[in-house]
């Protein structure tokens, strides 16, 4: 599942900047296909971030997050080599996850 | 350490470790995300008496060429910031995202959002149990909700 998330975590001046790019269509359920059918909603609802297996942040997303979601956040207490994991779950229960070590 | 004691401690540890994860295995706030009205969505998020604050720094473009991808950064300088919510008043559903900080996270997020038309983007911060907000108008050239 790791191939649907790209992550980078860099420690700079004591703060770790984490950048994440997820692959997901983020369909609102309001868009029509070329044939006039409504494309069903398909979007990430929950995002959980772990630092060394401890939950540090949890997000709820709606359909207003852009396709292939991009997220940057900052961790105050991460050290080099610490493992940051991000998990998402969409409205169909599909999950994805990615992991990165702080460099 | 005796076996029984060891087991008790291990059991207690596992129970403790599982607790926050259970508590967090959230519950997507369906009514808040389905609401088409800004005030209603905020109410459903539990936001009470939000006050304007200049300690919230929101960075978003004045003009967005393409409403499908509008990069927004929200940073809170309020002590004990617990959560950041991002809302777009004139979108079909106003609530875009809510971020809850558990520990060790700087309350500063950057993400890309969809905007149906020119609208205020509102950031609502919960800090020390109180609510604060800041908003910025983003002019949208081409709508991004399709």
**CATH number of the domain encompassing residue A81:** 2.60.40.10
User: Does residue A20 sit in helix, strand or coil?
Assistant: strand
- Please state whether beta strands B130-140 and B63-64 pair in parallel, antiparallel, or not at all (unpaired): parallel
pLDDT at res. B23: 46
Residue A34 located in a structural domain? no
Task: Answer whether A64 sits within 8 Å of B114, measured CB to CB.
Answer: yes
A33 belongs to a structural domain: no
Burial B32-43 (b: 16+ CB within 10 A, else e): bbbbeebeebbe
Q: What is the mean pLDDT of chain B?
A: 88
Rounded to whole angstroms, the Cα distance separating B39 from B59 reads 22
Domain residue limits, chain B: 28-140
The CATH T-level fold of domain B28-140 is: Immunoglobulin-like (2.60.40)
Contacts of B104 in chain A (CB under 8 A): 51, 56, 75-78
User: B87, B79 in Cβ contact below 8 A?
Assistant: no
- Binary contact (B106, A66; C-beta < 8 A): no
Is the CB of residue A48 less than 8 Å from the CB of residue A87?
yes
Kindly report the nearest CA distance between residue B99 and chain A, in angstroms: 4
In a domain, A35, yes or no: no
Chain B residues whose beta carbon lies within 8 Å of the beta carbon of residue A58 = 24, 26, 99-100, 102
Q: What is the pLDDT of residues B20-45, one digit of tens each?
A: 444 444 589 999 999 999 999 999 99
Interchain CB contacts (distance < 8 Å): A and B: 113
Is the model's pLDDT at B99 over the cut of 80?
A: yes
pLDDT band at A4 (very low <50, low <70, confident <90, very high): confident
pLDDT band for position B144 (50/70/90)? low
Query: Domain total for chain A?
Result: 1
Taking an 8 Å cut-off on Cβ atoms, the answer to whether B105 and A76 are in contact is yes
């Amino acid at each position: 599942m790791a191939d649907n998330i790209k992550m980078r975590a860099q420690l700079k001046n004591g703060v770790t900047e984490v950048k994440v790019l997820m692959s997901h269509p983020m369909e609102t359920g309001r868009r029509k296909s070329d044939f006039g059918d409504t494309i069903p909603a398909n979007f990430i609802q929950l995002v959980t971030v772990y630092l060394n297996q401890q939950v540090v942040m949890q997000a709820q997303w709606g359909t207003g997050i852009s396709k292939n979601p991009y997220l940057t956040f900052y961790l105050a207490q991460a050290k080099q080599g610490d493992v940051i994991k991000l998990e998402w779950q969409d409205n169909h229960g599909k999950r994805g996850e990615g992991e990165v070590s702080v460099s | 350490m005796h076996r029984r004691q060891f087991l008790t401690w291990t059991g207690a540890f596992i129970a403790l470790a599982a607790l926050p994860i259970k508590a967090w295995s959230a519950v997507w706030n369906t009514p808040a995300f389905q609401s088409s009205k800004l005030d209603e969505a905020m109410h459903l998020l539990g936001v009470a008496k939000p006050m304007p604050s200049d300690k919230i720094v929101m960075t978003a473009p004045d003009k967005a060429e393409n409403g499908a991808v509008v990069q927004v950064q929200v940073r809170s300088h309020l002590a004990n910031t617990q959560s950041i919510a991002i809302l777009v008043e004139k979108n079909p559903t106003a609530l875009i995202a809510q971020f809850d900080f558990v520990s060790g996270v700087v309350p500063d997020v950057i993400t890309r959002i969809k905007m149906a038309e020119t609208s205020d983007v509102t950031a609502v911060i919960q800090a020390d149990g109180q609510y604060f907000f800041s908003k910025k108008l983003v002019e949208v050239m081409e709508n991004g909700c399709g």
